[in-house]
Amino acid sequence: MKQFRLPFLAKGGILVLGYVVVLLLIWSGVINDYIQATMVTICINIILASSLNLITGFTGQFSLGHAGFMSIGAYTTALVTMNFPTVWGFVGGLLLGAVIAAIIGLLIGLPTLRLSGDYLAIATLGMAEIIRVLMLNFEFTNGAAGLIGIPRMVDWNWLFVFTAGSVILIANLLRSAPGRNMIAVREDEIAATSIGVNALQAKTLAFVVGAFFGALAGGMYSTYFYVIKPDIFGFLKSVDILIIVVLGGLGSLSGSVIAAILLALISTILQDFSDLRMVIYGLILVVIMVFRPQGLLGDREITLSALGRIIPRLPRKRNEVQP
């Protein structure tokens, strides 16, 4: 069967359409501050989950320290933006935080990814704890009270650019040769090595890129919500991100996007029962792992092209949709 691919322009058109619709809704006041805050949470979670999915879902390496990278990004961006409260300060801070996180990811990943098994999980967990304790004790991070009064830089434009940009970049990385190597390593590291894939390189690349985007999400968090403190980025935050990835499917980017939206809605509903929410999250993890270990979507993707395959089946003139 000939694969139907939506043309590049049409994909871009759908994205731009989504962007414009939300923009109009914000202007007309339908999307109020509360909904906008939820949207920001969703978008940040999408970036976090996609980047963790790259490490855990696509490359098969278990990382428990994603909140640590988020923390680095959040603090760096906040500090830079507070000193240079301009757009350039914001963008520079985001990039600086992401690069620092990537370097730390490289330092942690290179030795531990050499080992097989769960060592990365332990090392990343330890790293995130160390980062949290350091942020609690440094002078310039203002200790347990955290940073207050960070200028708000993130609006819908930035949110859209960074969220869509991150997902598209990660998706394209996965379609490239290094991305295929990552998936090969997940499927069978020994087999991949024997056909000439540099497994260590693939794993490290995934980890570093994941760290980069994790920090980016952290930076957006701090420049939207005004306040950050070390406890936000604890072990539970890492678990939160992991739950999104698992729920959406280990190895499905669109799954991560859908799960991020779904979980934000669920937690809005369960807001008054926050303790119960964590019990439910725990049960969700156990039940999904027992009955569907690959996550809800598995490694299937829901793409615009796939939607496009459904559309021609509807009664329509074929030459309208053919590229």
Q: Does 136 bind another protein (CB under 8 A)?
A: yes
The helix/strand/coil state of 60 is coil
Mark 236-265 with x for binding to another protein (rule: CB under 8 A) and - for no binding.
---x--x---x---x---------------
The helix/strand/coil state of 7 is coil
Closest CA to 247 of 218, 278, 289: 289
What residue type is 94 in one-letter code?
Answer: L
CB of 132 to another protein, least distance (A): 8
Q: Which stretch binds another protein (CB under 8 A): 29-37, 106-114, 199-207, 256-264?
A: 106-114
Query: What DSSP string describes 19-82?
Result: HHHHHHHHHHTSS-HHHHHHHHHHHHHHHHHHHHIIIIIIS------HHHHHHHHHHHHHHHHH
The alpha-carbon radius of gyration of the chain (Å, integer) is: 20
- Binds another protein by CB under 8 A, chosen from 86, 118, 165, 316: 118
Q: Which stretch binds another protein (CB under 8 A): 24-32, 208-216, 277-285, 299-307?
A: 277-285
- Binds another protein by CB under 8 A, chosen from 30, 37, 134, 307: 134
What residue type is 287 in one-letter code?
Answer: V
Q: Does 266 bind another protein (CB under 8 A)?
A: no
- Give the Å distances, CA to CA, from 225 to 74, 105, 121, 302: 11, 25, 29, 31
Q: Which stretch binds another protein (CB under 8 A): 33-41, 78-86, 118-126, 314-322?
A: 118-126
Q: Does 293 bind another protein (CB under 8 A)?
A: yes
# of chain residues touching another protein (CB under 8 A): 42
Mark 140-179 with x for binding to another protein (rule: CB under 8 A) and - for no binding.
----------------------------------------
Q: Does 45 bind another protein (CB under 8 A)?
A: no
CB of 259 to another protein, least distance (A): 14
Name beta bridge partners: 147.
Answer: 228
DSSP assigned state of 147 = B
Whether the Cβ atoms of residue 4 and residue 309 lie closer than 8 Å to each other: yes
Q: Does 225 bind another protein (CB under 8 A)?
A: no
Triad 167, 264, 72: Cα angle to 5° = 55
Whether the Cβ atoms of residue 26 and residue 36 lie closer than 8 Å to each other: yes
Whether the Cβ atoms of residue 216 and residue 259 lie closer than 8 Å to each other: no
CB nearer to another protein: pick between 13 and 282: 282
Residues forming the site for another protein (CB under 8 A): 56, 60, 62, 108, 111-112, 115-119, 121-123, 125-127, 129-130, 133-134, 136-137, 190, 235, 239, 242, 246, 250, 275-276, 278-279, 281-286, 289-290, 293
